[in-house]
Structure 1
Amino acid sequence: MAKEIERKFKVVGDGWRSQTVSSSSFRQAYIASGEDRSVRVRIMDGERAKLTIKVGRQFMSRDEFEYEIPLADAEQLADCAVGVVLEKTRYEVEHHGYTWEIDVYGGAYQGLVIAEVEMEDEAAQPDLPDWIGEEVTGDRRFSNLVMATEDMSSELVHGVSSASL
């Protein structure tokens, strides 16, 4: 079992693009979710797939179990998704000893760009690049699980609160 410790931020501008070291297209579908756990399938570049189980109530730190699975199985599981299948391209950027993952969303969340940085412990203070905006680590609306199972697109992409609709 691995412990996932990460912080999330909104991205401002395109300054990160010139620093990209790799990219991958994802389709991410949630198969099951509960208050403190989720099961998702992720299809990467249409060529390989992983099944991931996350357990824990905190947004910054959770237990994570991840397994390679056959692509055909992943496609079938994605067809059983709860809610929206997320589409995004993930770019990796190295910055002062940390790998930043920048997710550029497509589909229902077209236009949303979020950066994540994984850390070795919760006390770590990675240097924030100049293209990092507001921190959204504890904001449940920016959880991929919430984005997939509740339609947050109007609020997150267009800035329209669902309460005002």
Structure 2
Amino acid sequence: MAKEIERKFLVVDDSWRAAVKTATALRQAYIASSDDRSVRIRTRDDTSARLTIKIGKSALVRDEFEYDIPMADAREMMQLALGNIIEKVRYTVDVAGFLWEIDVFEGPYRGLVIAEVELASEADRPTIPKWVGREVTGDRRYSNQGLANERLKPELVHALPN
């Protein structure tokens, strides 16, 4: 069983763009969701798809299981999604030995930019880049599951203080 250990932050400026290593268009939808677990479908560049199951209430650490699935299955399951389908471009940036993922949201959440850093252990202390703002780890308003399922109004998401 894999563990997902990650911290999440708001992004305060675009200076990270100069160091981008990769960019991937993502679409994701939730077909099951509760407080302590979720089942998500995610497509990457409309060429590959994964089913992800996450279990756990901790904001920092959860059990995570991922499986490749056929694109045709992903497209069909997305039609059965709960709430909104999340659309975003995920950029990656290396900072002092840690891979940061910067999600630039599209669609109803256009303008929202969130950075995540995955950790090998809870004890890891990554360097926090200057383009990173307030930490939102555990703030459900900024979780993909929350954005997809709670049908938040974009103006509420963007109005939250940085």
* TM-aligned CA deviation for residue 154 of structure 1: 2.2
* TM-score of the pair, normalised by structure 1: 0.94
**RMSD of aligned residue pairs (Cα, Å):** 1.2
What is the percentage of aligned positions where both structures have the same residue? 53
Q: Which runs of 4+ in 1 moved over 3 A?
A: none
Residue of structure 1 in register with 2:128 after alignment: 128
Partner deviation per Cα, 1:21-44 (whole Å, 9 max, x = no partner): 001000000000122100000011
* TM-aligned CA deviation for residue 140 of structure 1: 1.1
Residue of structure 1 in register with 2:13 after alignment: 13
Mind listing any 5+ residue stretches in structure 1 that lack a counterpart?
none
Question: Could you tell me how far apart the structure 2 residues matched to 1:93 and 1:132 are?
Answer: 12
Letter in 2 for 1:155: L
Residue of structure 2 in register with 1:33 after alignment: 33
Mind listing any 5+ residue stretches in structure 2 that lack a counterpart?
none
Instruction: Report whether the alignment pairs 1:70 with 2:73.
Output: no
Count of aligned positions: 160
Partner deviation per Cα, 1:45-104 (whole Å, 9 max, x = no partner): 000000000000011110000000000000000010000000000000000000000000
* TM-score of the pair, normalised by structure 2: 0.96
The 3 A distance-change label for structure 1 pair 122 and 160 is closer
Partner deviation per Cα, 1:106-133 (whole Å, 9 max, x = no partner): 0110000000000011121100011000
Letter in 2 for 1:37: R
Residue of structure 2 in register with 1:103 after alignment: 103
* TM-aligned CA deviation for residue 160 of structure 1: 6.7
Instruction: Report whether the alignment pairs 1:112 with 2:140.
Output: no
Residue of structure 2 in register with 1:155 after alignment: 156
Three-state SS of the structure 2 residue aligned to 1:74 is helix
Residue of structure 2 in register with 1:53 after alignment: 53
Residue of structure 2 in register with 1:145 after alignment: 145
Question: Could you tell me how far apart the structure 2 residues matched to 1:7 and 1:160 are?
Answer: 18
Three-state SS of the structure 2 residue aligned to 1:84 is strand
* TM-aligned CA deviation for residue 16 of structure 1: 0.3
Residue of structure 2 in register with 1:79 after alignment: 79
The 3 A distance-change label for structure 1 pair 58 and 25 is same
